[in-house]
Structure 1
Amino acid sequence: MRNCSRQRPGGFTLVELLVVIAIIGVLVALLLPAVQMARESARRMSCQNNLKQLGLALHSFHDGHGGFPPARVNATATSCSWPPFILPYIEQNNLFERYRFDLRWDDANTNDNGVIQTTIKTFMCPSCPYRKYDRAPIDYPPPNQITTPNSFLTRLPNPDATFPGVLGKDVRRRMADITDGTSNTLLLAESAGRDPLYQMGRFISLAGGGRGSWGNPGNVINLTGFNPSTNSLPGPCAVNCTNNNEIYSFHPSSANVLFCDATVRGMRANAPLQIVSDLITRADGESVNSDSF
């Protein structure tokens, strides 16, 4: 006797297919932020490792030369920044031998002809967006100046208010000069993404001029503070508001900083301007609690 019952065709119905697609979409929506967070966590750790390596290199230079290198040498004919001095300590001996310390950092026939165009991964934070540059950048300049007006600071740096940081201008400072304590004083900090100018996470312009170059003696952090209300300097914001010579990173809610004892920590984006100023100064007698930044 023939079985007259209707056989169901194989495969998915349209409704079942739509349900499966919807489930996959929900899973992707749930998992994608977690994947992005994991990737950013890895990039943040890589950035911290870069700073750690630079800290060890600066300590090695200090031990070998009796002091830290200057943040910048401003002599007209031989101006340069601090990174060329530590090249041998980050496995860049060949580049160090090619660099001409007897000439300007941007001498067209020597230093600015293939030397400072060389990208060094240790100098670059992996969280930075892609950028096109003529001179290879460094995302970790020294915070060595404070020009914040009195209206934003209750305590001004003292002594040497113009260059109160550790890596100074035309001077080789020693550990003994850091009387505030090596664990209480900044050595390097993120000011990432230059040459381009960023404010509050937004691209503003291609500033240019090689100001983010590892060879440029002007590549320093000059704490002025940023005013988010007017998008201008000066202001009360000290961290992650602009990379215009201020502390700035592309990590969510914080920026990585290196202390003089070679420890690396995250500094909150809402760290008070006064606290950041106190951490930059090497000898103003202020003690800063780590919970305050």
Structure 2
Amino acid sequence: MRSIKRGAFTLIELLVVIAIIAVLIGLLLPAVQKVREAASRMQCSNHLKQIGLAFHNYASVNGTLPRGGRDGRPSGQPTQNCCNWTDNNQAKSNAAGVKDDRDGYSWRYWILPYIEQDNVYNAIERATVYNAAIKIYYCPSRRDAESYSGSARCDYNGNAGSYFSNGTPTDDSAGSSGNGSPAVTETNTFDGVVLRSNVAPVALNRISDGTSNTLLVAEKWLHPLRVATAAASGNDGGDNEVWCNAGWDECIVRVGAGTYSYLYNGGQPAGPGSTTRTIPRTPRPDIEAPCVVDAAGKPVTIWNQQFGGPHPGGVNTVFCDGSVRTVTFSVDAATWAAACTRNGNETLSINN
């Protein structure tokens, strides 16, 4: 019998097969990435829907929307201007099996019972609360839900209105807005819906512009290189503090009027020689967020005050009526500013 000799692939044939596989992978990868992003975006929208429902359930029980947090200490203890709410009796209270004073915590803490997180809300140890990574507080397009060096984060911020006054621990102080905004007065400091904890909270019937026209919560603007990770707790002023107790600052709330100026280098780290960019405080993609470094290339902590996100085309939001919407990055500045005020009597509205 004659033996049949099998021929092997030649080198050229093998290279052709590899090239075909590479082309197919190149064609499929963008489609896979689009499907993955669509799923992440939908999950992010669902998180905001749950947050919006929690706000409404809180308001049904308490009569007002939850508070935005503040700096300081309980009455009778020495005051502090920065950078969170502290109870000097915390250790003693916790050791006795009692929660410390958390009056200055932000809305993220107060809605916990309405998102099935009673165990975190009722935890005695402050460290347990700080370390709790609440899944619906994270956008899956940006990062996984995890704690960093003992403190978790949140990718969604409340709407504080037109302009922002950082800190302001005293009950009658308006403070200064900074970052190029006009001087803050008591009137325009408090025209949002998530207000600092030592002023009167907002009831839904005080939203005179209409709940369907007023922003409640949206994704916060954060450069991909400034996102807190397991290796770094975050050097962006809007992502460097614990999720539930950052005082009254950009970790908790953002605003939507005026302009913002910062060093910009086309999405790359911006050193001292970079161009100063001035933009309206409309939502922006994360890659355009501030990422400032010093002459040695080390990160410089910055605080930006506007909304934005990691999704292509727009930012995910929930409005005061509970509706979840994607607002495009091309939204008109005046229209967005109108959406961020609850009592501006504007005729502009966001329909997308």
2:135 to 107, 114, 121: 121
Aligned residue identity for 1:281: T
Instruction: Structure 2 unaligned segments of length 5 or more: list them.
Output: 75-102, 165-176, 228-233, 265-274, 291-303
Alpha-carbon distance in 2 for matches of 1:11, 1:32 = 31
Residue 290, structure 1, aligned to residue 350, structure 2: yes
Offset at residue 172 of structure 1 (A): 2.2
Alignment of 1:272-283 (within 5 A): 272-283=332-343
Is this contact kept in 2: 1:118–1:135, CA < 8 A? yes
Residue 246, structure 1, aligned to residue 306, structure 2: yes
Is this contact kept in 1: 2:207–2:342, CA < 8 A? yes
Is this contact kept in 2: 1:128–1:193, CA < 8 A? no
Which residue of the partner structure matches residue 162 of structure 2?
A: 146
RMSD between aligned alpha carbons?
Answer: 3.5
Instruction: Give CA deviations for 1:196-217 in whole Å, capped at 9, x if unaligned.
Output: 747xxxxxx7236843623323
Aligned residue identity for 2:118: N
Q: Secondary structure at the match of 1:207?
A: coil
Aligned residue identity for 1:207: D
TM-score, normalised via structure 2 length: 0.67
Alpha-carbon distance in 1 for matches of 2:129, 2:261 = 37
Offset at residue 33 of structure 1 (A): 0.5
Offset at residue 186 of structure 1 (A): 0.3
Which residue of the partner structure matches residue 31 of structure 1?
A: 28
Is this contact kept in 1: 2:282–2:306, CA < 8 A? yes
Alpha-carbon distance in 2 for matches of 1:15, 1:95 = 62
Which residue of the partner structure matches residue 254 of structure 2?
A: 221
Distance 1:158 1:217, change over 3 A: closer
Distance 1:63 1:194, change over 3 A: farther
Instruction: Structure 1 unaligned segments of length 5 or more: list them.
Output: 100-109, 199-204
Residue 60, structure 1, aligned to residue 89, structure 2: no
Which residue of the partner structure matches residue 17 of structure 1?
A: 14
Is this contact kept in 2: 1:253–1:268, CA < 8 A? yes
Alpha-carbon distance in 1 for matches of 2:219, 2:138 = 10
Which residue of the partner structure matches residue 85 of structure 1?
A: 110
Number of residue pairs matched by the alignment: 270
Distance 1:52 1:38, change over 3 A: same
TM-score, normalised via structure 1 length: 0.79
1:161 to 175, 188, 201: 188
Is this contact kept in 1: 2:213–2:339, CA < 8 A? yes
Distance 1:7 1:94, change over 3 A: closer
Offset at residue 9 of structure 1 (A): 3.4
Aligned residue identity for 2:112: L
Instruction: Give CA deviations for 1:40-94 in whole Å, capped at 9, x if unaligned.
Output: 1100001000000011111011111111111224553242211111111111111
Is this contact kept in 2: 1:140–1:192, CA < 8 A? no
Alpha-carbon distance in 1 for matches of 2:191, 2:247 = 17
Offset at residue 270 of structure 1 (A): 2.2
Q: Secondary structure at the match of 1:290?
A: coil
Is this contact kept in 2: 1:157–1:278, CA < 8 A? no
